[in-house]
């Protein structure tokens, strides 16, 4: 029977079997020391030449006796540092080829393309594993935050017939004799479900044909979406987003201390209330702080995003800040225009440490108003008939938001490129393998 490595600590004198990968080998003539790694940790084993002859990362099954190390050989850095296994029986379950680079150093000193080209090897590095442990906690705590508020989880279609966010950044798919799109956002589905379920959320892939290679954009990303009805104001939507991200950050702080330490990362600091500011006011502040006149722009540039984050940090000691009230015409057709100033809408973005983490807002729930927008935005009502149906037959006032899971992970750990926070990142130049090396159709 297999014993997990972390369970060997208090089994001195026992004969056990462990299974794992060879993490390191140190040969001293006939005496060979190796560290064996499984999902729970590392254990030093002591064997002979047959152990020394194996290649790093080979998969082995080893039976032997657990014994205490001499105190002068204790290793405080290892959970199992006070014990070791004396090898009695060694089975090679799967040999590894010679590694293309050293994956056993504290830092993986390879370029991002190499790290991705050898993804199966880079996944074995503790720092790479830490990124996805943090991401798992982000996604799991997003779910738990919303379930605690009585939201219902749904799975959104991957193929869609319309482009809810507008723009050209969609992938077309040949669908029998027709053309459909890979889902750019579950937006219309989450909204229409509110007309039946009131409160819904989903963890889904979104696909964006982003025509440029940046450090913040993936063509396939994980979207953490929520939508709910019976709101009185957009502020309730903002508050739900705030509650959710605070829940997520608290959980990561609690469950990922070791992972954060590997990156020397601290959880973003958030005051009692995340500050929020209208786009135009933010632009005025940016102008006053930097002299850069962005006051007529419809969206903040990456530079503006960094500047407004700096301002929020200095003014409110907050690593997060909401920017609200974007020009109505430049945002998707479903966003609710502000009653006091319909030129601007009740949508918002959340920025953290200089990068956008979330978009959200109140949505139009009135059928006549949505039909006006459909016309103005040049949308074919036939393509969004299901969504329109939900408004025709009684839709409560609603709103919602979506976080990007990779963006949150990236910004918590201060990664310089969002690709590091995606298991299998796709961009203009890569779909697993580098496209420039592959045959293009």
Q: List contacts with ligand AMO (CB under 6 A).
A: 165, 185, 187, 208, 210, 217-218, 221, 223, 225, 356-361, 400-404, 406-407, 418
**CB-closest chain residue to ligand AMO:** 404
In the complex, the smallest distance separating the C-beta of residue 355 from ligand AMO, rounded to whole angstroms, is 8
Nearer to ligand AMO, 48 or 166 (CB): 166
Nearer to ligand AMO, 180 or 218 (CB): 218
In the complex, the smallest distance separating the C-beta of residue 415 from ligand AMO, rounded to whole angstroms, is 13
What gap in Å lies between CA 318 and CA 192, rounded to an integer? 35
Sheet holding 347-352, edge to edge: 152-153, 199-207, 220-229, 398-404, 355-363, 347-352, 320-324, 276-278
**Residues 265, 421: contact at Cβ < 8 Å?**
no
Nearer to ligand AMO, 108 or 358 (CB): 358
Residue 269 neighbours by CB distance under 10 Å? 12
Nearer to ligand AMO, 45 or 224 (CB): 224
Nearer to ligand AMO, 163 or 262 (CB): 163
In the complex, the smallest distance separating the C-beta of residue 121 from ligand AMO, rounded to whole angstroms, is 25
In the complex, the smallest distance separating the C-beta of residue 145 from ligand AMO, rounded to whole angstroms, is 16
| Strand segments (E) across 48-108 | 59-68, 83-94
Nearer to ligand AMO, 44 or 223 (CB): 223
Query: How far, in Å, are 20, 33, 37, 246, 249 from residue 85 at the CA level?
Result: 14, 10, 13, 44, 40
What gap in Å lies between CA 182 and CA 267, rounded to an integer? 34
What gap in Å lies between CA 154 and CA 201, rounded to an integer? 6
In the complex, the smallest distance separating the C-beta of residue 266 from ligand AMO, rounded to whole angstroms, is 21
3-state helix, strand, coil in the chain (%, to 5): 35, 30, 40
Tokens representing residue 361 in the block: 């807002």
In the complex, the smallest distance separating the C-beta of residue 234 from ligand AMO, rounded to whole angstroms, is 11
């Amino acid at each position: 029977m297999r014993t997990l490595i972390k369970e060997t600590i208090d089994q001195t004198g026992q004969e056990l079997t462990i299974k794992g990968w060879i993490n390191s080998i140190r040969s001293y003539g006939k005496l060979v020391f190796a560290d064996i790694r499984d999902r729970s940790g590392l254990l030093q084993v002591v064997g002979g030449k047959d152990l020394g002859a194996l290649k790093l990362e080979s998969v082995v099954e080893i039976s032997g006796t657990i014994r205490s190390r001499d105190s002068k050989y204790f290793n405080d850095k290892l959970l199992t540092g006070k014990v070791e296994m004396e090898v009695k029986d060694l089975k090679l379950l799967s040999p590894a080829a010679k590694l293309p680079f050293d994956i056993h150093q504290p830092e993986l000193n390879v370029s991002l393309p190499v790290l991705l080209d050898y993804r199966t090897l880079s996944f074995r590095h503790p720092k790479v594993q830490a990124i996805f442990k943090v991401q798992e906690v982000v996604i799991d705590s997003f779910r738990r935050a919303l379930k605690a508020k009585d939201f219902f989880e749904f799975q959104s279609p991957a193929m869609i017939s319309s482009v809810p966010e507008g723009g050209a950044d969609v992938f077309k798919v040949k669908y029998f004799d027709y053309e459909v799109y890979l889902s750019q956002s579950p937006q219309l589905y989450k909204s229409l479900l509110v007309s039946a379920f009131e409160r819904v959320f989903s963890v889904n892939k979104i696909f964006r044909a982003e025509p440029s290679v940046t450090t913040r954009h993936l063509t396939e990303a994980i979207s953490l979406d929520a939508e709910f009805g019976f709101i009185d104001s957009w502020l309730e939507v903002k508050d739900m987003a705030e509650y959710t991200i605070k829940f997520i950050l608290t959980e990561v702080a609690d469950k990922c201390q070791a992972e954060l330490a590997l990156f020397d990362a601290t959880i973003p600091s958030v005051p009692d209330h995340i500050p929020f500011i209208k786009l135009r006011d933010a632009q005025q502040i940016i102008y006053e702080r930097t002299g850069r006149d962005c006051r007529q722009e419809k969206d903040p540039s990456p530079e503006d995003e960094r500047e407004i984050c700096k301002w929020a940090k200095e003014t409110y000691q907050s690593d997060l800040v909401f920017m609200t009230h974007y020009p109505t015409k430049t945002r998707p057709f479903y966003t609710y225009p502000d009653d006091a100033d319909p030129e601007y809408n009740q949508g918002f973005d959340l920025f953290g440490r200089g990068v956008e983490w979330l978009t959200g807002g109140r949505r139009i729930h009135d059928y006549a108003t949505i039909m006006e927008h459909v016309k103005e935005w040049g949308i074919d009502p036939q393509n969004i008939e299901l969504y329109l149906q939900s408004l025709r037959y009684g839709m409560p006032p609603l709103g919602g938001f979506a976080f990007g899971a990779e963006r949150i992970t990236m910004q918590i750990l201060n990664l310089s490129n969002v690709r590091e926070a995606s298991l299998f990142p796709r961009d203009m130049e890569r779909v697993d393998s580098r496209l420039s090396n592959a045959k293009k159709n």
